[in-house]
Structure 1
Amino acid sequence: MKALVVGASRGIGAAIALRLAKDGIARSGFAQIVITARAPSPALTEVASGITRLGAQPHIVTGDIGDATVPARIGAEAIEACGGLDLVVANAGITSPGPLATLSIESWERLFAVNTRGPWLLAQSVYEALRATKGSFVAVASMSGMFPHPGSGSYSSTKAALIMMCQQLAQEWGPDGVRVNAVCPGMIRTPMTESIYADPAIAARRDEIVPLKRVGQPDDIARVVSFLGSDDARYVTGEAIRADGGFSSSILSYVPGLAKSR
């Protein structure tokens, strides 16, 4: 396993990097994981240490994927570090809530630069490497890219565009044996959202409205990414897989007066 995980210093990205290291060692006894973040940090160093403890080899690359010059450099450095790539995971993403009626152009464009343009430019930079290995590209989108999320600024739009980009790439790269998929997390408890769950009442309410009766953990998403990057998913491409505990398809359960199953 030779993998690149962009946006890996914490939360879902960190969990993906560690899961790929663990599963790579289990499957083949070998794993090299390139992890990136906008800038060096103790958190990124700790993820690298965790990869080492699992028996895999980490490489650290830094840079802001929202800068149009950075994705190609990240891809090139990852390919050089590993001598090729089997899996690339575009996980970096940002939010900037606000109503569309008053959203600034700067906010709109910054989110698109990081959440959509960055993964596209990254995909361009690793295409030849993935074609050589018949590898896989996975983008972490969101259920907010499949359903409108009021007040999320351009976030829902960026993630919807990201999903469509992956589906288009899957069609274009399929003849070369390269698979492209998106994973769409639901409510996941991460360092970014921890302040919300610090309120026990809100945490309990969120657990209650998920059909599986719990908010997700970063490793729940990491397991899906690992599957998509493995040979077990060798016939899966062009998919946007929701990993949300059933939440986003549960809307009809809230219609007043419907019969209840229990």
Structure 2
Amino acid sequence: MDLDLSGKKFFVTGVASGIGHATAELLIRAGAEVVGADRAELSKPLPLAAFHHLDLSDPALIDRAVAAAGDGYDALINVAGVSSLASTDMQFRVNFLGTRHLTLAMVPRLKAKSAVFNVASSTAVRWEQHLDRFTPLVETKSFKEGLQWLEANPQESPISYAWSKEALIIWTMKTGLEWIGTGRRINALSPGLTYTPMHAEFVQAHGEALLKKDAERTGDAGSAEDVAKALVLLQHDYAAWWNAANINVDGGFSASVLMAKENFGDV
């Protein structure tokens, strides 16, 4: 089905490369106006309506980007994030606290009927088991308060990346419930292993053998466009009943982990 998103306006983060770039490209191809943001410059040309520098690790820089972004958006698509090669502090700063701060700052710039999509990760497949662990973090009221919680509750671990995405999923679902009746909706989308520029960072952080095993669970890793197509489909009016959900787009990776007899790490 060819989607027609003419007349719709989107703010997409992480557009420099990977899933963010592919998502922006498909939205534009569908006739939408796309404003993009990233910490890096575009790796390939993209006919954006505007581009803003965005550093999710710093709330002041987030506020600066939001102030320049304008308004009238139909959706905010949060793709930007850092890999497990980053420090644990940076993973939580960017993947949860920064994404949350940006989303709340953008709410007044969204239309009355609008949507937010947060790209999480299928590595966060056991987020339900950690509701009690991360609910206190999710319920902090600001970027600063969130950092204070993290300082008091260190999350050092080889899988802290997954934990940062678990916090994002939990916050997304909690916020989706709070938004019921407002005309806005919010969902998380969790990709499995995906061939993007960030893939090399995961190989460096965890080793090629582990990522090869993960890819074998679904036959192979997905492409940036595989995930982007799902994100773009969710912009259609037919998807309007999706709210407060975590949507796995991983070729069956999450199911393979949850049903496997072997332990998938401390997640």
Would you say the 8 A contact 2:112–2:182 is kept in 1? Answer: no
Q: Which residue of 1 aligns with 2:49?
A: 58
Q: Aligned partners of 2:114, 2:258: CA distance in 1, in Å?
A: 39
Would you say the 8 A contact 2:122–2:253 is kept in 1? Answer: no
Give the letter for the 1:119 counterpart.
T
- Paired residue total: 224
Root mean square deviation of aligned Cα: 2.8
Q: Which residue of 1 aligns with 2:63?
A: 72
Q: Aligned partners of 1:241, 1:47: CA distance in 2, in Å?
A: 29
Q: Aligned partners of 2:13, 2:248: CA distance in 1, in Å?
A: 20
Give the letter for the 1:220 counterpart.
D
* 2:38 maps to 1:7: no
Long gaps (5+) in structure 2: 1-7, 128-155, 263-267
**What's the % identity of the aligned pairs?**
30
Would you say the 8 A contact 2:22–2:224 is kept in 1? Answer: yes
* 2:175 maps to 1:169: yes
Q: Which residue of 2 aligns with 1:84?
A: 72
Q: Aligned partners of 1:208, 1:246: CA distance in 2, in Å?
A: 11
Output aligned runs, 1:1-262, within 5 Å: 1-23=8-30, 25=31, 31-39=32-40, 41-43=41-43, 46-48=44-46, 52=47, 57-78=48-69, 80=70, 83-97=71-85, 107-130=87-110, 132-147=111-126, 152-194=158-200, 196=203, 207-210=215-218, 213-251=219-257, 255=261
Q: Aligned partners of 1:5, 1:218: CA distance in 2, in Å?
A: 15
Q: Aligned partners of 1:122, 1:161: CA distance in 2, in Å?
A: 15
- 1:238 aligned counterpart, secondary structure: coil
Q: Which has the larger radius of gyration?
A: 1
Give the letter for the 2:19 counterpart.
I
Task: Note the C-alpha offset of 1:207.
Answer: 4.6
Would you say the 8 A contact 2:115–2:184 is kept in 1? Answer: yes
Which consecutive aligned stretches of 4+ in structure 1 deviate over 3 angstroms post-superposition? 150-153, 194-197, 199-208, 251-256
Task: Summarize the Cα distance change of 1:245–1:37 in structure 2 as closer, same or farther, 3 Å threshold.
Answer: same
More helix by share: 1
Task: Note the C-alpha offset of 1:12.
Answer: 0.9
Task: Note the C-alpha offset of 1:201.
Answer: 9.0
Q: Aligned partners of 2:68, 2:94: CA distance in 1, in Å?
A: 19
Q: Aligned partners of 2:125, 2:258: CA distance in 1, in Å?
A: 17
- 2:15 aligned counterpart, secondary structure: coil
Give the letter for the 1:146 counterpart.
V
Task: Note the C-alpha offset of 1:163.
Answer: 0.4
- 1:174 aligned counterpart, secondary structure: coil
Give the letter for the 1:3 counterpart.
F
Long gaps (5+) in structure 1: 26-30, 99-106, 257-262
Q: Aligned partners of 2:223, 2:92: CA distance in 1, in Å?
A: 26
